[in-house]
């Protein structure tokens, strides 16, 4: 499957991080720009780096291709059986893009694989991923992340 235009609209949504034209440090201190880009042409984003909207879109599309593949790989059996619709795929992609991978979300992946429409069970696990570690290693609830996870899950079940 492929991400559709709706995926990119949501990726750049000001409801969440939105689009930043000047590099900033995320909650764990990683320099980030655009719609979550942390690396450009193999080099890390750096302090004071700037970009245009066009660059941010190009980088996001390039970045998203690897996450598209991760979603396809993680859920290949369900996709082949037509048990993943476009909204589910986009929601899983937004989750993966924001997390960087499914490496820390193995429980979520396993739960979805068991029953992709057991929404009550999946929701609790999905929303558990609204915490993050600060640059000092402290585990905290990241204010906007709970809203993001709720929105992603609502998209998933729609």
Record: fold of 5-157? Lysozyme (1.10.530)
Give pLDDT tens digits for 76-110: 999 999 999 999 999 999 998 888 777 778 888 99
pLDDT of residue 136: 66
pLDDT of residue 134: 59
Give pLDDT tens digits for 15-54: 877 789 999 998 778 999 999 899 999 999 999 999 999 9
Give the residue numbers annotated as catalytic, written as ranges: 17, 26
Q: What is the mean pLDDT of residues 107-134?
A: 85
Q: Residue ranges of the domains in the chain?
A: 5-157
Q: What is the mean pLDDT of residues 138-145?
A: 71
Does residue 135 have a pLDDT over 60? no
pLDDT of residue 31: 95
Give pLDDT tens digits for 58-75: 999 999 998 999 999 999
pLDDT of residue 29: 85
> Is-contact 132 104, C-beta < 8 A?
no
Rounded to whole angstroms, the Cα distance separating 132 from 90 reads 22
pLDDT of residue 158: 92
Q: Of 151, 152, 1, nearest to 74 (Cα)?
A: 1
pLDDT tier at 143, thresholds 50, 70, 90: low
Dihedral sign computed on CA atoms, order 3, 97, 149, 129: positive
pLDDT tier at 128, thresholds 50, 70, 90: confident
């Amino acid at each position: 499957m492929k991400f559709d235009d709706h995926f990119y609209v949501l990726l750049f949504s000001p409801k969440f991080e939105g689009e930043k034209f000047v590099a900033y440090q995320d909650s764990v201190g990683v320099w980030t720009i655009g719609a979550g880009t942390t690396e450009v042409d193999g080099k890390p984003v750096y302090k004071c780096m700037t970009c245009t909207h066009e660059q941010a879109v190009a980088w996001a599309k390039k970045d998203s291709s690897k996450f598209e593949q991760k979603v396809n790989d993680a859920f290949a059996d369900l996709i082949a059986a037509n048990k993943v619709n476009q909204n589910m795929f986009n929601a899983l992609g937004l989750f993966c893009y924001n997390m960087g991978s499914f490496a820390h979300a193995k429980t979520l992946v396993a739960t979805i694989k068991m029953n992709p429409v057991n929404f009550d069970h999946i929701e609790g696990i999905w929303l558990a991923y609204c915490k993050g570690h600060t640059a000092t290693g402290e585990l905290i609830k990241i204010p906007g992340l709970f809203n993001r996870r709720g929105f992603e899950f609502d998209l998933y079940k729609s």
